[in-house]
Structure 1
Amino acid sequence: MENIDFDGVNGPDGIINIYNETGTTPADGTWRIDPRFDSAFDVASGNLFMWELKKASTIVTQNDYFFELRNTTTCGDTPVRTARLILGPYSGVALPPSGPLNVNAQGCDLDGFNLFSAFALDSNTPSPHSNGEWTYNGSSSSFVKIEESKLFVDIPYQPGLPLVDQEVFELTYTVSGIFGCSTSQSTTIRIAMVRQVDSGEPVITEICEDDLLAGVYDADINLRDDQYLSGEDIEGIWLHNLDPTGQIENEQDSMINLRAIYDALIDNGNNLRYGCETYNFIYAVEQRSAVCGDEESTVSFTFYEQLRPFNQPNPPPQICRNETPGDLDLFDLLEFTTEGSFDFIYKSNSYTNWRLVSGPSNLGLISLGSVLGDYTYLGSIHTFGAQPGTYVFEYGVSPWINCDASAPIECDPFANSGEPNYCEHQCNVETALVTIEILPFDYAGEDTKDINLCESQGQVDLRSLLRTNGNTIATTGVWTNSAGDVIDNTFVFPNSNSSQTFTFTYSTNTVNGCVDSADLTFTINKLSNAGEDASATLCSDDLTITLFDLLGGNPSTTGTWAGPFGYTSPDHLGVFDSSNVLLPILGAGEYIYVVPGNPGCSASDQSTVTITIVEPVDIGSDRSETFCKIDGRVNLYSLLDRDTPRIGVFEDTDNTGALSADGVVEFETLTNNIYNFRYVIANTLPCDQSSLNVAIQIVDLPTPNVPPQEFCILDAARLEDIEVDVLNYNWYVTLESEIPIIDNPLLFDNQVYYIAAIDVNNCESERLEVPINILNTGERFANGELCTLDFQDGVSPNGDSQNDTFDLLIEEVYNIPEAFPDFDLKIYNRYGSLVYEGNINTEEFRGESNVSVQLGDDLPSGTYFYVFVPNFENNLPIQGSFYLSR
């Protein structure tokens, strides 16, 4: 692969095309490679970048590269063809040798050297295959191993000059091949490995303040001694400029005095609370070659402030075991050392601990590590209810308390070596004892309330009412009331008309001043009272009542009701309300009121309310009807429901004055309106009257205003031509006709018709007489207009459908043949000669003569004269002229 140049530009590139190599084209399908090698294969073009394949082909099949040609159109998911790439071995090209040792690379013996970093790698040189093997070509004792292409060596230290300690190692990298290609390929490299310098193993020294004060560290010490620094290269120096104490004066000076450092630290007593202080002295060795690094070692000395003593200075406190709240912090009983202006008070939740030394119990004390996160240095205990006796506790402080920044997370000063929370320290733990005494008291019982007694008991032993926690109540106490007055243990009930509640206090006191008390609250209840029996009668149309209100006497409100049909009440009232659908319906029968015995009293009491229900007459529902005023009257009894009893009377609710005693309403005085009448039937008490409302609506239509009618006979008028001032109406032939005229008859002279207005309910107004007068031609209307006919003034028989004939249907207004079926028409020329004669059976005049002399002749243009004779009753002839145009 290192020799293939696909594009012929800039030397080898290691690219081949699978389509070219297999003699296929993209039309045959798509070549695919194992997904592990997708990054080396361009599916779109078929280019394989062999330099991206990191292993040579071997007899191990997982290093072979297989391809599949797939064409889903013709073969589905079955490969069309397969191909296998056998990739020859490539062991890479070493970097050019350099330097006097003629090596390809240089490395440090500190962490192992990556051998592949000795190979060339650029755009024309691929990296070697990764499945080769390394061989060391030598026998040096400095060689350690080759592991995962890393060379590990251990170059021995040679003190003094020359400073660079190094050794050259020759190694060969061999990549195996497979039959058909090179069986293997090898590359040899030379690596110069340099020793890493060693600044030595430092020791951290912890020094307690009491040792310093005792003179243990008064003499000078040499930091190069093995007890402080061991195994260091001798070529190193001390970094005196980083010395915080100023005792190291130059690079080779390694002498210091710890007592002098301490004296400077406490500053003549001005810095006694220094806690802990660390001093670092740095020894540095410079690297021998750029491939390795410098190294430093820090020799540390930490001074720990000495713990000052603390104790319980006062007499042990005495605490009554019933004293509340009973919370005490043992830490508050300690007194700590003060030196000069410094207080040596030790508070820490991680480096202190409390423990019980002696006593009946630990009083709920939480020790370090016993409950995660709950411990505090306060030493909180709970004395309330504790067993009387003397309790001794111990408070311990770990020296780590002075050095929070460098201390372990948690250190128990009482723990022994080997226990989980033990933190070993060079300095001593400081402890102190704390003692308390818990005193007994005379038990007065527990606060007691909600006790109920019955008045029939008469008296009670008050101590017997108090609750206890299992202890015996002392008899040495004293009872007092709320005013502070002393009362006897035997309490006699006072007389009362109602329940009474009392509160008393029982108090005890010991010679040591331990007091106790208990409050007692109780109620003396009356015997229960259900009141006196009662009865009530109700009408079924108003079943609203409260049973409790019917009881006599002074009943208690703690009872409930039970009655017919499984009725029970939720309270003492027994409410029935016919307008409330959520409440039950009242039924006839006995309702029993039961008052249970009051608390403390066992006997109950009951009373009875008897309910009687009267039914009213079922009168039916309200009625309403509409009537035409011309109907004249109506009997209201006829409007009632069929099931409504006819035993009641009607009342004139609206005071119309039109109602008779027998229930008849006369319409004569009524107008357009709705009138209400009430039908009433008397009931048995306590039921009110049964009644319903009857409403009648009177429809009174106005008479139409239609005057006598005049028409010219030439109008051929019909009934619908009469103008009427209302929208809805009927015409009748006579005043008494029941059937209206439904056609549209032709009007004749001296006829009489009758008209009435109507509404949607077919109510009619009074009928109006309308006379008809038909004028003959030549007669005049009442307004002076003449009843006559003006024929057209021209005839032009040219076929344009305009005035082609002497038209007897004039402007669709006058229908001559219909109005005068016996008419006669004569037309004369200007010389007086008859040229046309016609009647209802003759074709209309079209400019042609129809008389014998000129029969069929087209008449010339000119003026012609006509005489129209109606031949109907007294209608006069009509004369005129027209112009015939050709």
Structure 2
Amino acid sequence: MENVDFDGINGPDGIINLYTETGTTPMDGVWSIDPEFNAAFDATTGNLSMWELKKATTLITQNDYFFELRNATCGDVPFRTARLILGPYSGIALPPSGPLNINAQGCDSEGFNLFSAFALDDITPSPHSNGEWTYNGTSSSFLQIVDSKLFVDIPYQPGIPLVDQEVFEVTYTVGGILGCSTSQSTTVRIAMVRQVDPGIGESIAICEDDMLAGVYDADINLRDDEYLDGEDIEGIWLSEPTGEIDDELDSVINLRTIYDNLIDGGNNLRYGCMRYDFVYATEQRSAVCIDREAAVSFIFHEQLRPFSQSDPPPAICNNVLSGDLNLFDLLEFTTEGSFDFIYANDNYVNWRFISGPSGSSGNLGLPEKPEVSVLPPYEFYLGKINTFGAEPGTYIYEYAVSPKINCKVNNEVCDPYATIGDVFYCEHPCDVITARVEIQIFAPDYPGEDTNTNICETLGQVDLRSLLRTNGTSIVTTGVWTNSAGDVINNTFVFPTSDVAQTFNFTYTTVSTGGCTETADLALTINKLPNAGEDGSTTVCSDSLTVTLFDLLGGTPDTTGTWTGPFGYVSTDHLGVFDTSDDMLPILGAGIYTYTAPANAGCSSSDSASVEITIVDPIEIGDDVNESFCKIDGRVNLFSLLDRDTARTGVFEDTDSTGALSADGVLEFATLTNAIYNFRYVVRNAAPCDESSLNVSVQIIDLPIPNVPAQEFCILDAVRLEDIEVDVLNYNWYATQESETPIIDNPILLDNQVYYIATVDVDNCESERLDVMITILNTGERSSTGELCTLDFQDGVSPNGDGQNDTFDLLIEEVYNIPEAFPDFDIKIFNRYGSLVYEGNNNTEEFRGESNVSVRLGDDLPSGTYFYIFSPNFENNIPIQGSFYLSR
């Protein structure tokens, strides 16, 4: 394939045409290849770029490059097949250079891609990928070739000259099959350069207490293996901020000097942790490798300062409702100079319950430390406990702080897994410190439980403590009773005299030896004997069955009772409400209703009273009436609007004070305008029923008379009745003042006619009728405004089909309408010699430049001037003569 030149331009290109190679043409069908190789094959032209096929054919049975020719005739069965056997191609090495004749150079720090030693450009195909590499040497520096990458390990040669390079020769062989080359090989020489090694630097964590103890006072040499191991000796130390290394070849530093500079004479005690990196750099031996660095790091860690409980154990009452206590608030932390050593970071502190009284709940709700801090609002470091209801006794807790709490930079906690870079290494060398916090919890004396109780007035007095409920514990007798005003009262309470039930609020307060106060509230109600009130009665109208039975009782009945009555009635409260406007309530019936006041709490007997209900009926009356009338109807008797069942014994009231209603109920429309008028029909009832009444609403429809003046038109307009402009939207035309049938056709208007018009609405109400006089002007007459009714025909005819003056027009919109105005007209057209060429009337087509008379019938007339005589043949309209020009 490396020798094939398809286009004969710029050397080989590796392209063949499948149609040419197989003796076929596009008429035979379309060639296809496995989609994997579509990028190499153009099915439209049949061109195959063999340089895009990446494997040589190595087996005679191999069908990788298999083609099928298909067409519509054969369908799914290939018309022809073909197989390409591709000979091996092992590529062309880059030109050798230098005294060692090498084709490429690489670094031993990573595998070298051997194909990068080949010429890979637009005019050179890449080698086939199914070849094998062979190392042609015996150097111990050779390791292996994997995936076309050469791996070697060049030994270190300290000192000058800095060579550290070795040449390796390898051969790439691509196999083939008979018929083509059985194989092809290309050999390349690769110079591999050793990557420089700065060694491995250590990171050493130092606790502040070791520094203060003098452990690191002596000078140290950074090149010692405990700090830097396996480095090339040719490296140098880069400049660093401590100033300890003045010379890039000097490896000696003093850590105590660095620490003293860090704390700045006590002005920087809260430094947290600080890392100092001393960087050892080695320079590359060749451009194919890179410079490398290693760092020796020293991390100074601030030590923890001690802390402890500041005051004696606090005394806490376990009945305080909030019950929340922060153990952290009981600790006192160290202060040095202007620095406070307070440790309150959730990530690096821990609370632990140590001991408590026997049978206690232990940690009193001390939460477990979360895996990840959620500050705020969680704040685990506070050590919040709940002392409410705790077992009395002594509780001990321990607060522990990890030294990692100090390891921060820019106020961010250091990454405990980082070893180098921008984040500090937090493998902490300092110790955890702890402190214990102790609290004392006391319980109050038991005063009993809050109590609500009722007793009857017949007792006279009571022992208050005996009324309190208990949880099974005895109530102490050393407590003190107070009333709602705060006054101290005796345990024996004598009832004051009263006509109504009385409620008293008392508080019983105890104080224990630990100073814990507890209270119990007593709400005492002294009830009267029940009172149902005195009997009552009432009469109600059946159209207003709304009463409250309780309001009908005499005396001062209790509000604790319920009602029973006819039809199984039982009230839900003491009121006994009946309301016809509320569908959820029962309907009131006639009969006896009994009110029963139950025995009050503490009292045993009940009391009852009754109310008798009498119901009378009102006269039945119909529903409200709504009617509409046209004003031209004249009048209406309102009694005629009532339904048949409504009693006629009532009277009509003129609610809107129209003055148009007579005593016998006749409403006259003459003085009424276009509006709705309300009247009330009233029938008197016997007490207690109110009068029966209904409303009558009468709408008077008074439509405006149209404003249409006398009409004047030129006869040429041929106007019809619908052409008259009217100032209302809905109207009827009539032939006479008394006609009952509107005009429904659209007659043409004639001179001296009179029509009558009235406004009409959707309900066929009409206004008064207006007479409208019609005047039709003949040609030559002037209107009342001075306009002349004249007929001016066009002065030219051009029958060219452009839509303008194609005929001698007898109908021009909004100008004249000859067929309508003069239905019996006739027109004659003569040429300039006086010969008749056209004669027309209402039944002939308009003149369009053709003769319709004599021997010239149907002939196109020549251009020129023609003369016409138009005879209206109607009343006093005289004939009209004129001329026009016929243009072709």
TM-score by length of 1: 0.65
**Do the aligned partners of 2:205 and 2:427 also contact (CA within 8 Å) in 1?**
no
CA shift at 1:196, angstroms?
1.0
> Partner of 1:333 in structure 2?
330
> Partner of 1:365 in structure 2?
366
Amino acid at match of 2:404: W
Q: Of the two, which has the highest radius of gyration? A: 1
CA shift at 1:99, angstroms?
1.9
CA shift at 1:473, angstroms?
4.1
CA shift at 1:14, angstroms?
3.4
CA shift at 1:267, angstroms?
3.8
Amino acid at match of 2:441: I
CA shift at 1:89, angstroms?
3.6
Amino acid at match of 2:385: I
Partner of residue 509 from structure 2, selected from 490, 507, 510? 507
> Partner of 2:13 in structure 1?
13
> Partner of 2:251 in structure 1?
254
CA distance 1:39–1:576, shift in 2 (3 Å): farther
> Partner of 1:403 in structure 2?
407
> What CA distance in whole angstroms lies between the structure 1 residues aligned with 2:484 and 2:106?
98
> Partner of 1:550 in structure 2?
552
> What CA distance in whole angstroms lies between the structure 2 residues aligned with 1:440 and 1:372?
35
When the two chains are superposed, the root-mean-square deviation of aligned CA atoms in Å is 5.0
> Partner of 1:436 in structure 2?
439
Partner of residue 240 from structure 2, selected from 233, 239, 242? 242
CA distance 1:572–1:180, shift in 2 (3 Å): farther
Please state whether the residue corresponding to 1:307 is helix, strand or coil.
Answer: coil
> Partner of 2:283 in structure 1?
286
CA distance 1:543–1:348, shift in 2 (3 Å): closer
**Do the aligned partners of 2:346 and 2:373 also contact (CA within 8 Å) in 1?**
no
Alignment of 1:592-603 (within 5 A): none
> What CA distance in whole angstroms lies between the structure 1 residues aligned with 2:192 and 2:60?
35
> Partner of 1:376 in structure 2?
380
**Do the aligned partners of 1:351 and 1:410 also contact (CA within 8 Å) in 2?**
no
Q: Unaligned stretches of 5+ in structure 2?
A: 418-425, 630-634, 700-733, 741-762, 765-888
1:197 aligns with 2:215: no
Amino acid at match of 2:480: V
Alignment of 1:439-838 (within 5 A): 439-445=442-448, 448=450, 462-463=464-465, 473-524=475-526, 529-557=531-559, 572-578=574-580, 585-589=587-591, 591=593, 608-616=610-618, 618=620, 686-687=688-689, 727-728=737-738
> What CA distance in whole angstroms lies between the structure 1 residues aligned with 2:407 and 2:662?
118
Please state whether the residue corresponding to 1:377 is helix, strand or coil.
Answer: helix
- Cα deviation, 1:355-405, whole Å, max 9, x if unaligned, reads 233323233334645786455333333333322222333333333233224
Amino acid at match of 2:329: D
CA shift at 1:122, angstroms?
0.8
CA shift at 1:195, angstroms?
1.2
- Cα deviation, 1:510-531, whole Å, max 9, x if unaligned, reads 3332322344445455566554
> Partner of 1:51 in structure 2?
51
CA distance 1:619–1:473, shift in 2 (3 Å): closer
Please state whether the residue corresponding to 2:408 is helix, strand or coil.
Answer: coil
1:108 aligns with 2:107: yes
- Cα deviation, 1:90-131, whole Å, max 9, x if unaligned, reads 332222222222222111111211222222211112323333
Amino acid at match of 2:13: D
> What CA distance in whole angstroms lies between the structure 2 residues aligned with 1:525 and 1:61?
115
> Partner of 2:713 in structure 1?
none
- Cα deviation, 1:237-286, whole Å, max 9, x if unaligned, reads 223x336233x332332222223333333444444443333232222221
CA distance 1:24–1:264, shift in 2 (3 Å): same
> What CA distance in whole angstroms lies between the structure 1 residues aligned with 2:678 and 2:237?
128
> What CA distance in whole angstroms lies between the structure 1 residues aligned with 2:653 and 2:5?
125
- Cα deviation, 1:709-754, whole Å, max 9, x if unaligned, reads xxxxxxxxxxxxxxx9982289xxxxxxxxxxxxxxxxxxxxxxxx
Amino acid at match of 1:379: G
> What CA distance in whole angstroms lies between the structure 2 residues aligned with 1:282 and 1:626?
109
> What CA distance in whole angstroms lies between the structure 1 residues aligned with 2:273 and 2:661?
122
> What CA distance in whole angstroms lies between the structure 2 residues aligned with 1:244 and 1:10?
66
> Partner of 2:312 in structure 1?
315
Please state whether the residue corresponding to 1:242 is helix, strand or coil.
Answer: coil
Amino acid at match of 1:483: A
> What CA distance in whole angstroms lies between the structure 2 residues aligned with 1:229 and 1:22?
72
> What CA distance in whole angstroms lies between the structure 2 residues aligned with 1:432 and 1:320?
24
- Cα deviation, 1:282-341, whole Å, max 9, x if unaligned, reads 222211111111222111222233333333353333333334534333333333334444
> What CA distance in whole angstroms lies between the structure 2 residues aligned with 1:20 and 1:452?
119
**Do the aligned partners of 2:530 and 2:599 also contact (CA within 8 Å) in 1?**
yes
- Cα deviation, 1:574-596, whole Å, max 9, x if unaligned, reads 44444666765444455555666
How many aligned positions are there? 684
**Do the aligned partners of 1:350 and 1:409 also contact (CA within 8 Å) in 2?**
no
> What CA distance in whole angstroms lies between the structure 2 residues aligned with 1:490 and 1:80?
123
> Partner of 1:755 in structure 2?
none
Amino acid at match of 1:143: F
CA shift at 1:16, angstroms?
4.2
CA shift at 1:481, angstroms?
1.3
CA shift at 1:495, angstroms?
4.1
> What CA distance in whole angstroms lies between the structure 2 residues aligned with 1:491 and 1:62?
117
Amino acid at match of 1:286: E
> What CA distance in whole angstroms lies between the structure 2 residues aligned with 1:625 and 1:222?
120
Amino acid at match of 1:484: G
CA distance 1:686–1:428, shift in 2 (3 Å): closer
> Partner of 1:756 in structure 2?
none
CA distance 1:57–1:491, shift in 2 (3 Å): farther
TM-score by length of 2: 0.65
CA distance 1:494–1:200, shift in 2 (3 Å): same
Amino acid at match of 1:480: T
**Do the aligned partners of 1:368 and 1:375 also contact (CA within 8 Å) in 2?**
no
Amino acid at match of 1:281: F
**Do the aligned partners of 1:367 and 1:375 also contact (CA within 8 Å) in 2?**
no
CA distance 1:521–1:354, shift in 2 (3 Å): same
**Do the aligned partners of 2:532 and 2:608 also contact (CA within 8 Å) in 1?**
yes
Amino acid at match of 2:365: G
**Do the aligned partners of 1:169 and 1:190 also contact (CA within 8 Å) in 2?**
yes
Please state whether the residue corresponding to 1:189 is helix, strand or coil.
Answer: strand
CA shift at 1:440, angstroms?
3.3
> What CA distance in whole angstroms lies between the structure 1 residues aligned with 2:469 and 2:178?
103
> Partner of 2:89 in structure 1?
90
**Do the aligned partners of 1:452 and 1:522 also contact (CA within 8 Å) in 2?**
yes
> What CA distance in whole angstroms lies between the structure 2 residues aligned with 1:695 and 1:311?
95
**Do the aligned partners of 2:352 and 2:398 also contact (CA within 8 Å) in 1?**
yes
Amino acid at match of 1:304: H
> What CA distance in whole angstroms lies between the structure 2 residues aligned with 1:307 and 1:623?
99
**Do the aligned partners of 1:392 and 1:433 also contact (CA within 8 Å) in 2?**
yes
**Do the aligned partners of 2:679 and 2:695 also contact (CA within 8 Å) in 1?**
yes
- Cα deviation, 1:752-772, whole Å, max 9, x if unaligned, reads xxxxxxxx99xxxxxxxxxxx
> What CA distance in whole angstroms lies between the structure 2 residues aligned with 1:542 and 1:118?
115
> Partner of 2:3 in structure 1?
3
**Do the aligned partners of 1:330 and 1:434 also contact (CA within 8 Å) in 2?**
yes
Please state whether the residue corresponding to 1:262 is helix, strand or coil.
Answer: helix
